[in-house]
Structure formats: C-alpha cells, structure tokens
Structure 1
Amino acid sequence: MLLIVGTIRIAPERLAEARPAMRKVIAASRKEAGCLEYAYAEDIQDPGLIHITERWASQAAFDDHFVSGHIAEWCGAWKNLGIFERKLSIYEVGEPQAIPLRAQVKIA
C-alpha cells in the first residue's frame, strides 16, 4: 500500500475559487480503482495551506492516477487558481492499525 502525504499552498484570497476544482479532483480520484483514501484539508492555523492525504492499493493504481485526465486538468489549473507550492512524499506502508483510546481520554 502507498501513502502519500503533503501539502499544497494556495493564495488565501483564491481559496473560494479553488474549492470547486479541489472537490472535482477529489471526487474523480476517489472513484479510481485502487484508491483507498483521497482527502484535502484546509489548515485552520495557516490560511492557504492544504494538507493532502492519499492511500493507494498499489504502485500501479497510483501510476494510473497520476496520468489520469482529471489530474492533468487539476495540475493544469494550478497557476490560474493561485497554487504556488507543492510538497508531497510517498511511503510504502503496511495495513493500518487503529490506535486504542486510553482510559483517561474521555470523548463526550
């Protein structure tokens, strides 16, 4: 399994304009064979910083994703959307394991 984590940076004043394009690429990516997780999250402390998390079943699935039409469209729109930085790392990982809640941690 592959885990991709990292960030992109968008000019904060362009976030509203970029959100529909982000929703579109997320929806299309989640439909791909081998996509186990695909998520973007805005950093609440750092406007314009978008955290990316992806999990892929295999290198082949990720390779197919990277050459898909929706990724080409997404990357082609970056300049117009004010995206000016990309930092992603890829890791080969095993199956995820849940982290047990400690008894002293109370969730309401």
Structure 2
Amino acid sequence: MIVVSGTFRLGASSVEAAKAAAIEMARETRKEDGCITYAFFQSIEEPTTFRVFEEWESDVHLKAHFEVAHMKTFRARLGELEVLERNVKKYVVADVEGL
C-alpha cells in the first residue's frame, strides 16, 4: 500500500477557493481505480493549513492518478492561489494492522 500525507499552508484570501478545489478533487479521485482513501482536512488551530491524506493500492495506481484530468485541473487551480508552503510525502507501507 502507498500512503500520501502532507500539508498545504495558504494565504488567508485563498482558503475558500482551496476548499472548493479540494472538494472537487477528492470526489473525483475517490472514483479512481486503486484509490482506498482520499481526503483533505482543514486545521482547527490554523485555518489556513490543510492536510491531504491518501491511501492507494499500489504505486502504479498513484502514478496513474498524477495523469488524470482532475489532477491537472487541481494543480492549475492551486497555481492561482497563494500557496505559502507545501510539504507532501509518499510512504510505502509493508504491513497494516488494526489497533
């Protein structure tokens, strides 16, 4: 399994547009083959900070995700916003068990 997790910090004037873009992106991405989980979360302590959390069946599925039309649209929309910081990482998970 592949996990992608990270944060985006935005200028205050970009928050509402980012929410709209994130909602559309998440809805479309969850329809993709190999997508297990895909969601954005807004920080309650720092409302200009958003976390993305994704789980994919494989790296092949994640790579395909980077090529879909809604990803290209999302990246273009982010390019129009004031993104102050972006920190997103990919994790390759060998074992998963419930707690």
Fold match by TM threshold 0.5? yes
Aligned to 1:70: 70
Max radius of gyration: which structure? 1
Unaligned runs of 5+ in 1: 100-108
Q: Calculate the aligned-residue CA RMSD, in Å.
A: 1.3
Equivalent positions of 1:54-69 (< 5 A) are: 54-69=54-69
In structure 2, distance between residues paired with 1:76 and 1:65: 15
In structure 2, distance between residues paired with 1:84 and 1:73: 20
Aligned to 2:38: 38
The aligned length equals 99
Unaligned runs of 5+ in 2: none
In structure 2, distance between residues paired with 1:60 and 1:80: 29
In structure 2, distance between residues paired with 1:78 and 1:14: 9
TM-score by length of structure 1 reads: 0.84
Q: Identity over the aligned pairs, expressed in percent?
A: 26
List structure 1 segments (4+ residues) > 2 angstroms apart after TM superposition: 81-85
TM-score by length of structure 2 reads: 0.90
